[in-house]
Chain A
Amino acid sequence: MESVDNMQEKLEELSLEANVACPVDPFEKMRKAFEEFKAYFKKEKELFDALAQSQHPKWMIIACSDSRVDPALVLGLELGEAFILRNIASLIPPHSKQSGHKSGASAIEYAVEHLKVEHIMIVGHSRCGGIKALLEMKEDGSNRFSEYIEDWIQIAQPASEIAKAKVPHDSPFEELWTCCVKESVNLSLRNCMSYPFVKIPMEKGLLTLHGAYFDFVNGAFDVWKLKCKIDEHQSL
């Protein structure tokens, strides 16, 4: 046993020395990747010349920052196709006149008013850490663990309440988790509508809102639309 431990120690020492002598460049992989991309760029010169002038994406996609759910990768989007906002749990707060840095509102305003996107898709996903943290938050804040994360995910608090009411108490956590992610997407979609610059083109049929759920555990991608229809008046 002793000799195995000694060998283990020796191996660790050697690998440490090797790293110091020839440190692995974190950008080497990225540099090589960009070289390949440059070749693709040259090949598609016409496309990139057009993109160099301006962008005309038809889609705005709002996705989680999670490394497993890059929407361009998952949906096979080409450059120029989608204007993409990413934050923890793909949340959009409701319209508010309160001061504060509004990353979501400014991005949506730019996409809808200036780029004139025709579709907004909000994508939730399986095993979302932000939503899990939301579901585990105690009302009295006694298990608070962060400076910023909980304040951010609190945006989805109404979704947590809906999911907890919908899913039976004795169901596995995974079911509550999945339901809450989908309700959070719906909440963010409704919050999008609270912005006049979203509501007006929606009512004119110029902008469609979509929800989506990417399940990378089972390899599924569900989509749905946000419909807002005012029924015909009926006399009582």
Chain B
Amino acid sequence: MAVDNTSFQKKTLDRINPLFTTTTQSCTPFASPISAVTTELQSSPLEKLRNGYLKFKENYMKDQTLVKTLAEGQQPPYMIIACCDSRVDPCTVLNLGPGEAFVLRNIGNMVPPYSSEKACSSAASAMEFAVLFLKVKHLVVIGHSQCGAVRALMGMEDDGSNAFSEFIEDWVLISKGASKKVKDMHRSSPFEEQCTSCEKEVINTSLLNCLSYPFVRQRMASGELTLHGGYYDFINNQFESWDVDLSCTSSLDKFQ
């Protein structure tokens, strides 16, 4: 269905008409607002995307070596699992260019645990491809502040009495262990603080669930893959990262 601009135009005209009727000043002060409005009216929602693409294309096509290399295949060193949230695009925040990161995004940056049951899983298939076929060196799960999915998880009543969605709650329950842990450990903290703690616990839950996949463990054990957590706090403009250490202690207790 075509985008209907009529109601938008009417709202905009309603906004600018009073400016003409109530002022006795010349039209000049209104020249820029009118031209801005006219530009808004003329540009379709796709126009901005088009301009964005043309700028990208101009830069991208200049580097023909990169274009030819990427046309043949991809060898990204990173796989990133991040949230769909519009404020946390990982390539933008971490300045990653084409070919650098294979990216899975879902709500709450969640990874379901390994299951041998036949399952149609976007996370499992993406990890399998990245780890076994692209042979990425680093698997990074990135969470963030003000995560709506985590907030929904933390707000769920145990008896499901305040269920509000068809799919969202089933999805976020992947990380129910994280919310239970936070509620037990931070019983007296305000809800907002609990949500922040849960955002970080969810990242750890996702990392542990990544580890439940045999192909992830195997490549970690052989030293070919490392797992990392990342937390992007856009309130305070900070980014924390941490590694997952899967190693055995070198000393051996002897039972004697």
Chain A positions near chain B (C-beta within 8 angstroms):
26-27, 30, 33-34, 36-38, 41-42, 48, 51-52, 54-55, 57-59, 65-70, 72-77, 79-88, 91, 93, 99-107, 109-111, 113-114, 118-119, 121, 126-127, 129-130, 146-149, 151-155, 197, 202, 205, 208, 210, 216-217, 219, 221, 223, 225, 227-229
Contact = CB atoms under 8 A, between A and B. Distances in A.
Given A65-B126, A79-B87, A37 B95 contact: yes
Contacts of A75: 49, 52-53, 56
8 contacts: A34-B94, A84-B89, A88-B125, A106-B172, A127-B71, A148-B119, A208-B2, A223-B49
A110 B149 CA distance: 9
Contacts of A52: 145-146, 234-235
B219 interface: no
Contacts of B74: 66-68
Interface residues of B, number: 83
B237 A87 contact: no
- Interface on chain A toward B: helix, strand, loop, or mixed SS? mixed
B103 interface: yes
Contacts of A130: 129
B207 to A, nearest CB: 15
Contacts, number: 242
- Interface on chain B toward A: helix, strand, loop, or mixed SS? mixed
Given A85-B84, A110-B84, A130-B129, 11 more contacts: A34-B94, A70-B91, A70-B103, A77-B89, A79-B93, A84-B105, A86-B105, A87-B126, A104-B122, A147-B128, A208-B2
B148 A106 contact: no
Interface stretch (B163-171, B186-194, B195-203): B163-171
Interface in B86-124: 86-89, 91-107, 112, 118-124
A126 B170 CA distance: 34
Contact of B67 (A80, A147, A216): A216
Nearest to B91: A70
Interface in B20-55: 45-46, 49, 51-53, 55
B171 A67 contact: no
Given A148-B124, A152-B122, A55 B86 contact: yes
A148 B128 contact: yes
